[in-house]
Amino acid sequence: MLPAFEVIDPPRETPVVVEVPHAGVHLDPESLAWTAAPARSVGRDADLYVDAIFADAAEEGASLLVARMSRFVVDLNRGEDDVDCEAVEGGGTTPWARGLIWRLTTDGEPVLWRRLPRREFTRRLDAVYRPYHARLAEMLARKRAQFGFAILLCAHSMPSVARRGHSDAVTPRADIVPGTRGRTTAAGVVIDAVDQHCRQRGLSVRHDDPYRGGFSTAHYGRPEQGVHAVQIEIARRLYMDEQSLGLDPRGFPAVRELGRTLVARLTSPELHERLRQLGSTL
């Protein structure tokens, strides 16, 4: 069976971790048996190629954590208690079609043949979700112990225009959306470094709109405890054909270079020195 995730360690250690939780499209046989979603939806609802965009992260000093399973197995950017009562037997009291276990694709098609039995839900947690987050927590704790702080970049992509049913379904989104839940999940110098880096490359940036940062950003982003988390959403029009799902050979190299240089910015000694100077004032 394909490993649920992959860790790539850098040749030189820095305080930075890049996580890519949604680029995977693999479904293990047990999950596939419960899956009704068409193959096209597996690709449309994945953050395709984001692992390739950040493939140079380790060379720039960041530890890289990449999930290989589809989010239709389990969504790694949701809390363990974010369970839709209509998706899982014995789930929560509030229906949520795209919680920890997705019930509907973003195109509104069913993901599941029927509600998951509790045993299958627990299997997915034990096989994928819990090991992934245990490893991510360990990586951040190790960085913080070594450097006094850690920086987590949660790397995602987004449809360039919202899918039908959303209020902004005809309005193009910004090129880059950093999510920090109102600038609460990281120190300002980290958030501004991401913002400035993207704007300096001619990209439009809109904070927290429409994505404020998911579970990883909110759960791990504790700047007062020395862990700074920023989610970044990249508009897919910049590097792929959103209809065919194919990579755009003209746009992709520039976006991969953006990923590499952004990681270089976050691993720079200058930024780290500014964070050390902030120290206990955070």
Give the C-alpha separation, 36 to 270, whole Å.
Answer: 50
Q: What pLDDT digit, counting tens, does each position of 229-267 carry?
A: 999 999 999 999 999 999 999 999 999 999 999 999 999
Residue type, 131: P
pLDDT of residue 155 exceeding 80, the answer is yes
Under DSSP, the state recorded for 129 is: I
- Write down the pLDDT at residue 163: 66
51 contacts 1 by C-beta, under 8 angstroms: no
In the predicted model, what is the mean pLDDT of residues 181-198?
Answer: 98
Contacts of 164 (CB under 8 A, 6+ apart): 107, 108
Q: What is the pLDDT of residue 256?
A: 98
pLDDT greater than 80 at residue 212: yes
Contact (Cβ atoms closer than 8 angstroms) between residue 79 and residue 218: no
Is the confidence at residue 167, as pLDDT, over 70? no
Q: What percent of the chain has pLDDT over 70?
A: 96
Q: Indicate whether 115 pLDDT > 50.
A: yes
CA neighbours closer than 13 Å in the CB half-sphere of residue 229: 24
pLDDT of 280 reads 45
Cβ atoms 69, 21 nearer than 8 A: no
Q: Are 77 and 154 in contact (CB under 8 A)?
A: yes
Q: How confident is the model over 179-196, as a mean pLDDT?
A: 98
> What 3-state DSSP class applies to 66?
strand
Question: Is the per-residue pLDDT at 165 higher than 70?
Answer: no
Cβ atoms of 20 and 57 closer than 8 Å: no
Place of tokens 């990883």: 216
Mean of per-residue pLDDT scores for the chain: 94
Instruction: Look at 40 and 278; give whichever has higher pLDDT.
Output: 40
| 66, pLDDT greater than 80 | yes
**Rounded distance between C-alpha atoms, residue 220 and residue 38, angstroms:** 33
Contact 234, 53 (CB under 8 A): yes
Give the DSSP letter of residue 130.
H
Q: Could you tell me how many residues make up the chain?
A: 282
**Predicted local distance difference test score (pLDDT) of residue 1:** 66
Is residue 205 predicted with pLDDT exceeding 50? yes
Strands 63-67 and 176-179 turn out to be: unpaired
The model's confidence at residue 171, banded by pLDDT at 50, 70 and 90, is confident
Q: Is the pLDDT of residue 99 over 70?
A: yes
3-state secondary structure of 228: strand
Share of the chain above pLDDT 90, in %: 90
How confident is the model over 24-60, as pLDDT tens digits? 999 999 999 999 999 999 999 999 999 999 999 999 9
